[in-house]
């Protein structure tokens, strides 16, 4: 997606739940000596509630509004940080152009089976608390993949990569872009 000229040196990690945004964000932070933030954590600390409780008591629509507010803040602050976005943030068309203005966008792309293996037994993702999480993951990924791809400056296929390889690939990409 074409970037509008807004000066922003952030690195933005996007991808489905369980694609590794949080752990890769932490490793990148160490390697690049940049602060890292997680938009879900920002929302949880503001609401003083877990994401699951926000979904359960206030609904997904309310959560999506908070996500958009955080996105605007990232876009507007001309920062130099790493941000891991919630897996659903790029879905709304309105969010996509804002994400692109937030910084360099890295999409951690993973196959449904990889996500399923990683998140089996996880209870913190309200959208996957159902009888057949693998089908739900497949369905959501097929609906979301174009949104992720449209936002991405770089796509990393993470399924068969070590975390250190993913981090190195991102660092190379960022260095070559500068
Ligand atoms: C969501 C992903 C979650 C969290 C919420 C909704 C989604 O973030 O924002 O449960 O719609 O994919 P992670 O991708 O960090 O798990």
Which residue's CA lies nearest to atom 9 of ligand 1? 86
The per-residue pLDDT for range 31-64, each reduced to its tens digit, is 999 999 999 999 999 999 999 999 999 999 999 9
Q: Which residues pair with 166 in a beta bridge?
A: none
Tokens in use for 17? 């739940």
Residue 144: pLDDT band with limits 50, 70, 90: very high
Query: Does any ligand 1 atom lie closer than 6 A to the CB of residue 87?
Result: yes
Show Cβ contacts of residue 170 under 8 Å, excluding neighbours closer than 6 positions. 11, 24, 28, 106, 154, 156
Query: Does any ligand 1 atom lie closer than 6 A to the CB of residue 126?
Result: yes
Give kind and range of the element (H or E) at residue 83: strand 82-84
Percentage above 70 pLDDT, the chain: 96
Residues 36, 91: Cα–Cα separation, whole Å: 22
Domains annotated on the chain, with CATH: 11-177 (3.40.50.300)
Which residue's CA lies nearest to atom 8 of ligand 1? 86
Query: Does any ligand 1 atom lie closer than 6 A to the CB of residue 128?
Result: no
Asked if residues 67 and 92 have their Cβ atoms less than 8 Å apart, the reply is no
């Amino acid at each position: 997606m074409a970037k509008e000229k807004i000066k922003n040196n952030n690195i933005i990690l996007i991808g489905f739940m369980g694609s590794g945004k949080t752990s890769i964000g932490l490793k990148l932070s160490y390697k690049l000596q940049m602060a890292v933030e997680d938009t879900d954590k920002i929302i949880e600390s503001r609401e003083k509630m877990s994401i699951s409780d926000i979904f359960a008591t206030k609904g997904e629509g309310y959560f999506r509004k908070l996500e958009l507010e955080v996105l605007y803040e990232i876009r507007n602050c001309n920062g130099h940080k790493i941000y891991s976005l919630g897996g659903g943030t790029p879905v709304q068309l309105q969010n996509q152009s804002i994400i692109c203005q937030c910084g360099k966008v890295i999409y951690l792309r993973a196959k449904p089976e990889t996500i399923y293996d990683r998140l089996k037994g996880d209870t913190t993702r309200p959208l996957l608390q159902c009888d057949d999480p693998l089908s739900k993951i497949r369905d959501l990924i097929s609906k979301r993949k174009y949104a992720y791809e449209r936002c991405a400056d770089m796509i990393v296929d993470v399924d068969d990569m070590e975390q250190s390889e993913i981090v190195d690939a991102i660092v190379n990409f960022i260095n070559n872009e500068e």
